[in-house]
Structure 1
Amino acid sequence: MGSHSDLQTLLIGIDAACERVLEPLFDADELPTLASIFETGASGPLESQIPPWTASAWPSLYTGTNPGKHGVFSFLSFDGYDWDVVNATDVRERTVWELLDRHGETSVVVNVPVTHPPRTFDGALIPGYTAPEDPDCHPDGLLEEVRDAIGEYRVYPSREDGVDLADAYRSCVRTRGEAFRYLADRFDPSFGFVQFQATDSIFHRRPDDDVAIRTIYREVDRQIERTLDACDPDTVIVASDHGMGPYDGYEFRVNDFLRERGYVETQSGGRGMPTWATLRDRNLKEGEEATRDGGERTPLEHAMAAAASVGLTSQRLGGVLERVGLAEFVAERVPAELVSAGAEQVDFPESTAYVRSRIELGVRINLEGREPDGVVPPAAYESVRSELVDALRSVTTPDGEPVFETVAPREEYFHGPESDRAVDVVTVPAAFDHFLSATLRGDQFGQPSEPWNHKLEGVVAVAGDGVDPASGAGNAHLFDVAPTVLASLGVPADERMDGDVLPCVESAGTRQYPRFDGDRSVETADEDVERRLADLGYLE
């Protein structure tokens, strides 16, 4: 492959990258290419959004808009009490590569989350997270072509027995770079976007495995070096969607709190949401793959449901097994369907308010006329919401410290035509040191199910021609990345964007683009995608 001087801007997405993770690796001279970008360009912290999680944050980054405009608030979307994993049809704003297409610019996009199924534009796209393992690509047949050219290409790391986790992640990182370079050679784009997800996933699976973390980051650095050598972009932008760090506080089970206050009703042995609950903190871990909505129950599931109906839920059973030292043994052998059949779950239609998905960072009200079996009359909505805000603001840990930094109505965080799909009350944990859980345990507080998780502060670096390092990155926000990318190519930002061009890049102004007019959402309904998200703790 030759040098591609036509590549004007390369955006490198490194999921969960932050100063806490990068600085020790920079100091040890393990990431020379990345370190050079940060040292020679303008760099600094990049404030994420609420909620600072992959599925919502990356669409915010590549559209330059808040979730109230683009419409993705979590890994899950909700239609009444039904749910599905989000996909690109849930993104209701134009991406930077679609805006560039309107200006006659070609783009290559590799492994970016929530881009499946791909929309048409001038260039090439291989989807990333929330796509199936063999996703549709743009143009049709692209994935087969890439696999023929570079060998195996996987959206998710291999699960084959005997494959070391770090090696599986490193293989994914390597093929991201190889695929991008092949497509850059094939399509000769003006804009390129390659994203690395393994830098986040390893912290959800093995946050204390320093060898694996360093192995993955060294491979990321190697792929960036090879891509810069092959493509020679004029401008390089490195950005993350959020940070990563230890959770030093508590796990707060919001639905247990709401149940005690009379907002949540429960059912035992029901199908609730989700049916594949992992219950990891009670060691009743996911065994065999579960289905979303069912089919016929097995005799064992019926038995667990019957036990639950008389009070022996899987949570209580887990506590008993833990006390007698058998929890881990049983957890490795109990299918998730059986655990779910016996779990005490939120009865959504009968409840006043509840948490549906912990990473939404908020509480939903079961509003009459909006939800299929809503119980809160519209006239009572504001009073119920005010009660919830006051109640949640008052919550303190067993140590007497506030659980939440902010509890607020959703309109303080989300604005735009999709805001009605957001939670009604936003709950931001103090310093992101507390782990919020939607599952019922009988106790409001416990140890965090995951010792490391997302933090609000990521990183950004911009280097290359036309970049003024002396002007710095300013108070950079996630929403600023998209307008900065466009400005680096001399293209005006969409005036609907919530971000601004970073100080180090000259603005190309703004203009009004036609509103997005795509079709409404189509289902993901992919059990393997759901299982992988549950494995990483994104779905409980």
Structure 2
Amino acid sequence: MAETNLDVLLVGIDAGCLPVFDRLCDDDIPNIRSICDDGVAAPLESQMPPWTPSAWPSLYTGVNPGKHGVCGFVTYDGYDFHVVTGNDVEEHSIWSLLDDHGVTSVVVNVPVTHPPEEIDGAVLPGFIGPEDPRCHPEGLLDDVRDAIGEYRVYPTYSREDSDYTDAQKMEEYTDLVRMRGEAFRYLADENDPEFGFVQFQKPDTVFHEFEGDWNKVTTVYQETDRQIGKILDECDPDTVMIASDHGMGPYDEYEFRVNEFLRDEGFVKATRGGKGMPSWNPIQEELREGKETTTWEPNTVERMAATAAKFGFTAHRIRTALEKVGLADVARQYAPKNVARTGNEQVDFENSTAYMRARTELGVRINLEGREPEGVVPPEKYDDVREALIERLSGVQTPDGDPVFEEVAPREKYFHGKNVENAPDVVTIPNDMGQFLSAQLLGDYFAPPNEPWNHKLDGVFAAKGEGVDPDGIEERPHPHLFDVAPTVMSALGIPYSERMDGEVIPVVEDAGATSYPEHDEMDDAAVEEEEEVEERLADLGYMQ
């Protein structure tokens, strides 16, 4: 392998955080530990909401979601939804700004980068894109596969797949981590970039799928660290940084069903049947199968469940009945995927006053007249409705008498910019991020948390190498997610955008801000690509 000219390497570890690092043994993560111990490490405050599809664009653009426009796994056209793509990110990425200055980049597996931007270098998109993503330059994915063998974005199995043992699933995890490292090293060798960005997603996913099983977490981190070590050895960056989109920790309180509470408070109206609540999950399976899908429509069986629900035969009722007579396995085996989504009660968005669209948005949307297609709240009543929502949600307590929410606030506290209307009107932050929020209508307000491990607000920032002053962190011991982009650009000696919401973390010299052109609207090629995707989906029966 030829020697590279890599000035700055940014390693993204999804859900990476100091509490997890501290629990791992030195032998498990020697390379991560070396960067943290020999350089500088600090907790990195995430944004609202602290979830992958919104937080990574915030990290790589340096702006809040109110500016870049992505607030969750899906975005909305009225009450309908589609999965977010790179086209929904309406602000310049680090690598596009560097490209303006003639700085080359290699970007591998960063979420929400499909379709890719055209730069001097290479972009291999990751999570939330399709299994065979369009890359830059054209043909790059085939080149990567020819060079390293198999390369995939997603596992070959779904979480519900009982044909895979845990050992086989963990082999899939480590294979996917290895693919990221091998692809980055190959592309760095081919392109000789000055900036590199490789992201590892599995340190997050392993907590969600395996509920914090520490042996499995350790296995994933061992392989992640191994790949980081190989990149450091072969690419020899002058400066290396680690950053994450959020942290990870136990959720040992309750699941709180926000829309059930809002229904009893008179804000939510319910309906039976329909398409189901907005979610990334049904779309993910189609992406994993290689389809460039952007939305989800029920199949025949799922539509039948929706029709049955109108007569009271909900999937929830049927499954509960089977479980009560000891037939839980039968319920799982014969319930087609997504039937629960279409066969249960749903929020009637058009006729509701306010509702939680999706739990990962961490907020409530008002059905505002003139903004939503069937808005029922007149603009002059908006402030009154929002104040009522804030007051009532702020007072919710768990069965133990503890507050559910640490803060219930108007969106202006966390979102500002040209895309602020994409954000929820009321931000609902769980107390200590320990309560699991649900948007489903499932009866009681409270239940055990759906996942015992989930996202926390503090991720991690670490840096080591040329130009890094470890003492500088004392001036800002708790940096913010938005600070990563201006810090990376400053480390390269390139002025960052004055539109960025973050500041340079004072471990590197501030290169200063400058004015960059506004982000361009979607180009003709991207529009044509989306139209082609819709046509293919229509041919397959996914769209009408």
User: TM-score, structure 2 length as denominator?
Assistant: 0.90
Matched residue SS, 2:346: strand
Q: CA deviation at 1:42?
A: 1.4
Secondary structure at the aligned position of 2:334 is classed as: coil
CA distance in 1, matches of 2:176, 2:7: 26
The residue type equivalent to 1:495 in the other structure is: E
2:402 corresponds to 1:395: no
CA RMSD of aligned residues (A): 2.1
- CA positional deviation for 1:254: 0.4
Cα distance, 1:305 vs. partner?
Answer: 4.0
Q: Which residue of 1 aligns with 2:39?
A: 41
Extract unaligned runs of 5+ from structure 1.
Answer: 279-288, 527-540
Alignment partner, residue 484 of structure 2 = 481
- Separation (CA, whole Å) in 1 of partners of 2:188 and 2:28: 27
User: Per-residue displacement from partner, 1:440-488 (whole Å, max 9, x unpaired)?
Assistant: 1111111111111100011110100111112226221111110010000
Contact 1:268 1:345 in 2 (8 A): yes
Q: Distance in 1 between matches of 2:372 and 2:314?
A: 28
Q: Deviations over 1:342-363 (max 9, x none)?
A: 2111111111111111100000
CA distance in 1, matches of 2:426, 2:270: 21
Identify the residue that residue 171 of structure 1 maps to in structure 2.
Answer: 175
Give SS of 2:109's match: strand
The corresponding residue for 1:7 is 6
Q: What residue is the counterpart of 2:287 in the other structure? A: none
1:249 maps to 253
Counterpart Cα distance in 2 of 1:391 and 1:135: 44
Q: Does 1:380 align with 2:381?
A: yes
Q: Note the alpha carbon deviations across 1:394-449, whole angstroms, 9 max, x for none.
A: 11111111100111111110011110111011100000000000011111111111
Equivalent position of 1:285 in the other structure: none
Q: Answer yes or no: is the 8 Å Cα contact 1:252–1:436 preserved in 2.
A: yes
Instruction: Give 1:337-486 correspondences, 5 Å limit.
Output: 337-472=338-473, 474-486=477-489
- Deviation at 1:192? 0.1
Counterpart Cα distance in 2 of 1:459 and 1:294: 39
SS in 2 for 1:340: helix
Question: Which residue number in structure 2 is paired with residue 310 of structure 1?
Answer: 311
* Contact 1:184-1:231 at 8 Å conserved across structures: yes
Measure the CA separation in 2 of the matches of 1:276 and 1:308. 23
Give the superposition deviation at 1:231.
0.8
2:327 aligned partner: 326
Work out the CA distance in 2 between the residues paired with 1:384 and 1:463. Answer: 50
**1:274 & 1:336 partners in 2: Cα distance?**
15
CA deviation after TM superposition for structure 1 residue 162, in Å: 4.3
Q: Write the mapping of 1:21-60 to structure 2, written as runs, cut at 5 A.
A: 21-25=20-24, 27-60=25-58
Residue 95 to residue 308, structure 1, CA distance change in 2 (3 Å): same
Which is worse superposed, 199-208 or 511-520? 511-520
Distance in 1 (CA, whole Å) between partners of 2:279 and 2:50 is 25
Partner of 2:214: 210
Alignment-mate amino acid for residue 2 of structure 1: A
* 1:178/1:389 CA distance change after superposition, 3 Å: same
Secondary structure of residue in 2 paired with 1:336: coil
Of 419-428 and 203-212, deviating more is: 203-212
2:518 maps to a residue whose letter is: R
The one-letter code sitting in structure 2 at the alignment partner of 1:104 is: G
* Structure 2 contact 298–342 (Cα < 8 Å) conserved: no
Q: For 1:365 and 1:260, how far apart are their aligned partners in 2? A: 16
- The one of 515, 518, 526 aligned to 2:518: 515
Amino acid at match of 1:233: P
1:118 aligns with 2:116: yes
Aligned residue among 125, 128, 133 for 1:127: 125
Unmatched 5+ residue regions in structure 2? 283-290, 535-544
Q: Structure 1 stretch 345-354 or stretch 27-36: which is displaced more? A: 27-36
AA matched with 2:499: R
SS in 1 for 2:397: coil
User: In the TM superposition, what is the alpha-carbon distance from 1:238 to its structure 2 partner?
Assistant: 0.4
Aligned mates of 2:45, 2:358 — CA distance in 1: 23
What amino acid is aligned across from residue 81 of structure 2 in structure 1? W
Task: Note the C-alpha offset of 1:202.
Answer: 0.5
- Aligned equivalents of 1:16, 1:407: Cα separation in 2: 24
**Does the 8 A contact of 1:301 with 1:337 survive in 2?**
no
Superposed CA deviations along residues 178-211 of structure 1, whole A, max 9, x for unmatched, are: 1101111101100000000000000010024222
Q: Write the distance in 1 (CA, Å) between the matches of 2:132 and 2:19.
A: 34
Q: 1:277 to 1:95 in 2, by over 3 A?
A: closer
Question: Of the candidates 131, 136, 139, which is equivalent to residue 137 of structure 2?
Answer: 139
Task: Give the distance between the partners of 1:484 and 1:301, measured in 2 at CA.
Answer: 50
- Would you say the 8 A contact 1:157–1:171 is kept in 2? no
Q: CA deviation at 1:503?
A: 1.2
Alignment check: 8 A CA contact 1:73 1:360 kept: yes
Q: Output the amino acid matched with 1:470.
A: D
Match of 1:529 in 2: none
Aligned-partner residue type, residue 73 of structure 1:
C
SS in 2 for 1:332: helix
| Counterpart-to-counterpart distance in 2, 1:275 and 1:410 | 22
Decide whether the 8 Å contact of 1:277 with 1:336 is kept in 2.
no
Superposed displacement of residue 274, structure 1: 4.1
CA contact (8 A) 1:277 1:340 kept: no
Corresponding residue pairs, total? 512
Identity among equivalent positions (%) equals 57
* 1:244–1:452 Cα contact (<8 Å) kept: yes
One-letter code of the match for 1:364?
R
* Shift in alpha-carbon separation, 1:378–1:105, aligned structure 2, 3 A: same
Deviation of 1:277 (Å): 7.8
Equivalent position amino acid for 1:447 in 2: P
Partner of 2:443, secondary structure, is coil
Letter aligned with residue 3 of structure 1:
E
